[in-house]
A and B are shown apart, each in its own frame.
Chain A
């Protein structure tokens, strides 16, 4: 077995037992990136020197008996998480050379826990997209089929984990951007509860929806990373002062008495691929064999989630992205023609088509005469979606559903049809609108040998139950296929 193909938990044991050093492990992963990433394009920036220095520090800490949860583990983060020692581009031309003067709280927490940060991962520009084709640094390719998208917007993160170019990654999930690429690339992805993880230093897209989450090779690995990054942060007033459980110790245990809700509306969605449906239904049977019970539930307003989300998120984005004005940081164009001309030129040349489309959509929906019909209405429908989940969780403990209606598309399939791309987010958006946690776990293969994910959604701050169900499923189902890349 190659060192780069270790899971985080395996690597932790080997580091602890002295069977491998952090420097050896980091070198192995850096070499893997070197040999593979020209084909996949998962990384925007790799920092070998910084990573090896962190690995040497990790080896000293291990020698001194100061091992933390992630000491010596090579990880990478999506390129919208601010890092002092590397540029933070958000996949955008407008921030191509931006070097943040501070580290995001999640970076501080990873480093406090001894992690080795290898680099920054490719993404749809400002996290707007479900395919990773909307990156100013070129599309990321799916390790299972290089002619297909990895999903998005954390496509670089999912592809890097799937192709063993890091042991774990952090992405962000505003409407499915951790779970959908995890599903398409056959890895585990978790969107925690809104407020669970500090967003200080996460570049904002839609502030009432954004949340940072881990992408990992196993559910147990995700539990370790979630614990490391969770908890209240005085620098983020939307982070919640709830205690952080020891997630990794809560993975085992019986599923007897657990009630799994199957939302009838989700399985009736037009365009749900037969292979995806079969894989998810089979996964539910595995959970039943483990002792869980199934209840039918209804989420009647879920069919309005796409419309509500694609009003609310662009509205918030149009406001958040007003800060890119060519004054304080980032690109500046057409200096000589006055201030407004500079704004216009900077933003038009700095932002790609999808970001401009969403800024215009959001600005339109917030403009005089349209606010009530769009933003106001969508915010009311959001309340109905929140209430649907409240009622559902009176009848069940976990909701099981597909992550995406189809396996990964071919590159270019939705590039000129934004609505088709938006509609593919049909199963993931509701969890963001309701702020609940949701997990994507590989559950099988569809036609063409492409991975399919099972989505598990839980009540606010009940990540522990999702991780336990996901872990037990993973163990019982024994899905451990890997993409053939060598």
Chain B
């Protein structure tokens, strides 16, 4: 059984005991424990169930590479699925539950799947469930889906906060083991700005666990001294609990800081996503131990040798009383030594190598522990718990020589450098046959903006597995990167590490070498996804030969650990199956993040109101306080209508229309874009930007203008006013101001840069308030100031002056067909002017109106709306706007495009009015017109569509505008619009101007 030892544990604080909940049971651990170590200390070795076969799963590893021991953590708005017990620091009242098991982890109904595992080989989905056809959707898929997935999905919004942090440094060092510390020391002393990240709470990595010495003393002493020195350097930042998550182009990287995961009651954000720009990045991320591939290697109790020793030394937790070590290298023996030193039994060491003559094996032998060389694990025995192992010759097919009872099996298949961060941005690897590992190839690094490599790898991540060369590599790489970042490296550092020398590893990819198909089906490569040796061999046999094919066909390496433990072992089996060399088979692509990061951290604090901040007009708050029923318009909010308590939205719209046409309506038009175009060449420039001739516009006058893309399509419209001989004020649509301003700048800067023109987007400098209706002039005259008479300020003119004591510019323009003034005042005076109008207008029946009223009134007048009548495929000629396209100008944006054959096609759909034959009917939004014929491909022939459709309270019937094939030539004809509920609405084609066609009302 696994248990807590009476003394020791370098990371736990025995004075601080904590209680926590595991599957509803109250257990005890210590501060400094991980959830994994605390569970082991309580003899909890069965943690969850695997993905496909629901096999019992225990703790395998001690770090983020853990594939098995994933749990649901927390509850309600703090619940999170798939948390690794090995990276979860214990805290008081932590609450965790097993996953993928029902009703319980000990008795899981779906566990019967493993009995069927023989008929569920890799890719079996692809070969079956083919008949009957409907059954996949209705029967098979739902069952498979329910069985899949790991943890439960969170149900409620997230209670936590997240934030970003930006850092620009000379050197980002990832990994706080001795290599990372050494590199940081080098760079820090040289004066470089250094950011050193360590994913765990502790510095020093494996060196203290594995008994390395530096300068003749325990490695921990050097680590402490070094940390103290680095901590004292103003140019060095140390961050523990912060993982280097991803490396991106041009020296950009992300760091994932877990601020309160270990202390959920603490204030502040839960995670912080560091967004780092570094001149050089050093990945000192260490290495990960590989499992060995033998039958039953997934039974709880089979663990990585290094993990067993981590639990012993760091947490004083025994993983079992009676241990068998299976290894193909010397390093694994450290676990036997640690187990023995803790007063526990080591039943045997099974070393697959022909001989084990290194210092570590000799030390083990000297303790009287039997060391069997040339031997392999024939099978691990047990179901939910390991009971024994059987031993065979590595060279054979697995004839059992001996059975050894044990409750923990520590396995070491050698080490793989963690090369993820090197590889994320294109760093290449080479195969080191001696050490049986992929190492970074320094000749093919990821390239930065200047074309030089910007990532270096140091220590174990660089393929150095002994403390002496790890420390040296840390200094060397630190020196190199320091120089590359533009600093003088200073005198060399003399610190030396020593560790017991080791004999070489012998690559062992399956145990025993000649294992038959039956054993292959019980030998796991990917523990979480239940991928076995037999699956990879099957994939190869069926032609899924590329490593990517094998991965996708078998799902090897696609689980939440992304193959940290399984990829190399799987690759080796694939290479063997194909009779190829490992490096020729290649690796799959390493994709960020190194280890999963919370979506919350990726979103940061840009959520809720901050997700996309709302632009507010100067009148926004008044509108909100006075019944404004907001709709989003570009980044703004505009009132759809002002709803009174006793009326519906549509009643409000009707009231606003009728009142505006009878009395006065007040519209906040501040969101309209306003762009100043100024300079000696402004007229020439305006003639290019607009289809109209703008250079001839007289000072003091306004003109309605159209802008097209170079592709000929109508993109924006608005009224242009000529402020003086070289200054124009261009109004754009509410959504168009930034786009149009950028568009103007693009042409001025990149095409006509010799033209003398400036532009300025002054949209937010002005409040613009439309005073609309037959009594509009009465109101302005009452407010006093400029002469707004028809003689002094005629239609399509503007005046500068004062109204009611506020500096104002009044435009005589109308989008409603009524007498109308748009008054621009400084934004800071906007609310005052609005208030004044509301107050003074009361006697004239003034009411504010919203966007829907505006839409209906403009449709009654047949005015087009960008976005309704246009959709990016409509040219002005389609809309009967040829009058606004200058024939005299040599060129303007879009002119050439409009000459192309399709643009000149007489059959283009063109704008008309549409009046439902039945006055009670309204054509639905988006309806298409048909002529009753069927096209060759069976589609009903469409001859037009509606673009705007409303009930007109003014006229008392439905009105619409639409684009119809040959429409303007078909006045008076009737066409049919099928509706989605199967009806047909018949409408008469008519002039789009329904209201006041002579324009008498607006021009008084």
Same complex origin of A and B: no
* Chain B residues within CB distance 8 Å of chain A: none
Point out residues on A near B: beta carbons under 8 Å. none
